[in-house]
Amino acid sequence: MTRFIESTITFPYKRSLGPVVGAFMTALTEKQILGIRSQDAVLVPPMEWDPATGAELPHEFVEVGPAGTVESWTWVVTPSVQHPLDHPFAFAMVRLDGATTPLLHAVDAGTPEAMSEGMRVAPRWRGTREGRIDDIICFVPGEAAETEGEDTGGAAEPVTRMDYLASITYRNPVPEAADRATEASREHRLLGLRCPTCGRVYAGGRGLCPVDAIELGPDCEVDLPHKGTITNFAIVTPVPYPGQTETEPFVRAFVLLDGTDVIIPYSVVIELPADQIKVGQRVDAVWASPAEETDEGGGMAGSFGSLLGWIPNGEPDLDDPDLVNRIF
Q: Alpha-carbon dihedral of residues 311, 315, 316, 322, nearest 10 degrees? A: -60
**DSSP-assigned states of every residue in 231-265:** EEEEEE-----TT----S-EEEEEEEETTS--EEE
Taking the C-alpha atoms of residue 321 and residue 234, their distance in angstroms, rounded to an integer, is 17
Q: Does 105 interact with other proteins (rule: CB under 8 A)?
A: yes
Q: Which stretch binds other proteins (CB under 8 A): 12-20, 26-34, 256-264, 276-284?
A: 12-20
Q: Does 239 interact with other proteins (rule: CB under 8 A)?
A: no
Q: Which stretch binds other proteins (CB under 8 A): 139-147, 185-193, 203-211, 279-287?
A: 203-211
Collapse the DSSP code of 281 into the 3-class scheme (helix H, G, I; strand E, B; otherwise coil) and give the result.
Answer: coil
Q: Does 247 interact with other proteins (rule: CB under 8 A)?
A: no
Q: Does 303 interact with other proteins (rule: CB under 8 A)?
A: no
- Judged by CB under 8 A, the residue of 67, 93, 195, 323 near other proteins is 93
Taking the C-alpha atoms of residue 274 and residue 245, their distance in angstroms, rounded to an integer, is 18
Count of positions (residues) in the chain: 328
Q: Which stretch binds other proteins (CB under 8 A): 76-84, 219-227, 279-287, 291-299?
A: 76-84
Our CB check for other proteins shows the closer of 133 and 274 to be 133
Q: Does 52 interact with other proteins (rule: CB under 8 A)?
A: yes
Q: Which stretch binds other proteins (CB under 8 A): 98-106, 141-149, 256-264, 288-296?
A: 98-106
- Total binding residues toward other proteins, as defined by CB under 8 A: 56
Taking the C-alpha atoms of residue 154 and residue 146, their distance in angstroms, rounded to an integer, is 15
Collapse the DSSP code of 315 into the 3-class scheme (helix H, G, I; strand E, B; otherwise coil) and give the result.
Answer: coil
Q: Does 241 interact with other proteins (rule: CB under 8 A)?
A: no
The one-letter code for the residue type at 27 is A
Q: Does 166 interact with other proteins (rule: CB under 8 A)?
A: yes
Give Rg (Cα) of the chain. 30
- Judged by CB under 8 A, the residue of 14, 80, 111, 242 near other proteins is 80
Our CB check for other proteins shows the closer of 101 and 303 to be 101
Contact 221/207 with Cβ under 8 angstroms?
Answer: no
Q: Which stretch binds other proteins (CB under 8 A): 129-137, 144-152, 185-193, 226-234?
A: 129-137
Q: Is the peptide bond before 58 cis (omega within 30 degrees of 0)?
A: no
In this structure, what DSSP letter does residue 218 have?
A: G
Contact 101/94 with Cβ under 8 angstroms?
Answer: no
By CB under 8 A, name the binding residues for other proteins.
2, 7, 9, 13, 15, 17, 21, 25, 43-45, 47, 51-52, 72-77, 80-84, 91, 93, 101-106, 112, 132-134, 162, 164, 166, 168-173, 175, 206-208, 210-215
